[in-house]
């Protein structure tokens, strides 16, 4: 596949992200606390999470290795950062979840697999075939430096916020309480806010179309989900802090 065809596919995929964002603002995906059996057969949360995230860990590595392009050190660093995130998502995070007995619709797992198949392909194929122009000088470029700062800052926010939620659920009888502390002071979903920052940083540090596409899809998925979570908390807790936003402090 030539570079022009590849970019065309990615632009189409970004267009699909925009349409998905619009749809998810109107339809609440039956995921987590919004899960519904009316969406068909169910699977355990932990198993579903692992199955749907594995493609994003495996495919980039596979397409990178099989790619015909040169593979400079910078491309390896890009791949390492991407797989570092998904190693946690596949191997570590699911086994820390306190969601015993909870299930998700298989249709959600299948949709997430499709999402991760395309995004895993786009990152891996780009790095394996078209990343040969990245020299070591890129590591001193302002885009790489700024992007790395955003990437790890977002990851830190995401992990710290997830830790608070995991421990909160561990100490809760019904599984849900109002979270406090950290960025929960400002937003309902700082874990989603952190992930948005993280992948925005990845788009900046790679400065490539697949990176932009992944950031766009992250926003398309997580912003509507955060808005749904925010409404859920407001509907279930009369004392829910009124000053909190859903996902972006002071803004949204």
Residues 8-47 pLDDT 10s: 999 999 999 999 999 999 887 766 665 556 667 888 878 8
Predicted pLDDT of residue 248: 95
Dihedral sign for Cα atoms in the order 105, 110, 115, 121: positive
Residues 209, 245: Cα–Cα separation, whole Å: 30
Which of 52-66, 94-108, 181-195 has the lowest average pLDDT? Answer: 94-108
Residue 246 lies in a domain: no
Q: Read off the tokens for 47.
A: 């198993």
Per-residue pLDDT at 217 exceeds 90: yes
Residue with tokens 């950062």: 81
Instruction: Summarize pLDDT for 118-174 with one digit per residue, the tens.
Output: 999 999 999 999 999 999 999 999 999 999 999 999 999 999 998 888 877 655 555
Gyration radius (Cα) of the chain, Å: 19
Residue 21 lies in a domain: yes
Q: What angle do CA 127, 131, 135 make, to 5 degrees?
A: 130
Residue 248 lies in a domain: no
Give the range with max mean pLDDT: 41-55, 59-73, 93-107: 59-73
Residues 176/169, Cβ–Cβ less than 8 Å = yes
- pLDDT-derived band of residue 62, with 50, 70 and 90 as boundaries? very high
Predicted pLDDT of residue 30: 66
Residue 46 lies in a domain: yes
- pLDDT-derived band of residue 108, with 50, 70 and 90 as boundaries? confident
Per-residue pLDDT at 203 exceeds 90: yes
Residue 181 lies in a domain: yes
Residue 245 lies in a domain: no
Report the pLDDT averaged over residues 43-53: 83
Domain that holds residue 181: 3-236
- pLDDT-derived band of residue 94, with 50, 70 and 90 as boundaries? confident
Predicted pLDDT of residue 192: 96
Report the pLDDT averaged over residues 97-123: 83
Residue 241 lies in a domain: no
Predicted pLDDT of residue 18: 95
Predicted pLDDT of residue 177: 84
**pTM summary value:** 0.91
How many independent structural domains does the chain possess? 1
Predicted pLDDT of residue 52: 87
Residue % of the chain over a pLDDT of 70: 91
Residue with tokens 């502390």: 181
Residues 223, 154: Cα–Cα separation, whole Å: 15
Predicted pLDDT of residue 235: 86
- pLDDT-derived band of residue 187, with 50, 70 and 90 as boundaries? very high
Residue 249 lies in a domain: no
Residues 116/52, Cβ–Cβ less than 8 Å = yes
Report the pLDDT averaged over residues 55-79: 95
Residues 252/25, Cβ–Cβ less than 8 Å = no
Q: Where are the alpha helices (DSSP H) in 70-207?
A: 73-87, 106-129, 142-170, 190-206
């Amino acid at each position: 596949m030539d570079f022009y065809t590849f970019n065309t596919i990615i632009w189409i995929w970004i267009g699909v992200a925009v349409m998905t964002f619009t749809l998810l603002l109107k339809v609440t995906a039956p995921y987590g606390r919004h899960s519904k059996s009316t969406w068909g057969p169910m699977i355990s949360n932990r198993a579903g999470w692992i199955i749907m995230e594995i493609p994003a860990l495996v495919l980039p590595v596979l397409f990178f290795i099989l790619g015909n392009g040169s593979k400079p050190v910078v491309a390896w660093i890009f791949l390492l950062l991407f797989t570092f995130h998904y190693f946690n998502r596949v191997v570590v995070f699911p086994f820390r979840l306190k969601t015993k007995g909870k299930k998700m619709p298989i249709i959600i797992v299948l949709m997430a697999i499709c999402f991760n198949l395309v995004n895993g392909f786009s990152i891996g194929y780009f790095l394996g075939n078209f990343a040969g122009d990245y020299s070591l000088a890129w590591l001193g470029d302002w885009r790489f430096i700024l992007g790395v700062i955003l990437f790890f800052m977002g990851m830190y926010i995401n992990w710290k916020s997830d830790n608070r939620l995991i421990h909160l659920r561990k100490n809760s009888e019904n599984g849900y309480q109002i979270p406090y502390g950290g960025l929960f002071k400002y937003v309902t979903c700082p874990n989603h806010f952190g992930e948005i920052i993280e992948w925005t940083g990845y788009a900046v540090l790679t400065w490539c179309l697949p990176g932009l596409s992944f950031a766009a899809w992250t926003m398309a998925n997580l912003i509507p989900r955060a808005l749904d979570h925010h409404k859920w908390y407001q509907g279930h807790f009369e004392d829910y802090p009124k000053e909190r936003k859903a996902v972006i402090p002071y803004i949204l």
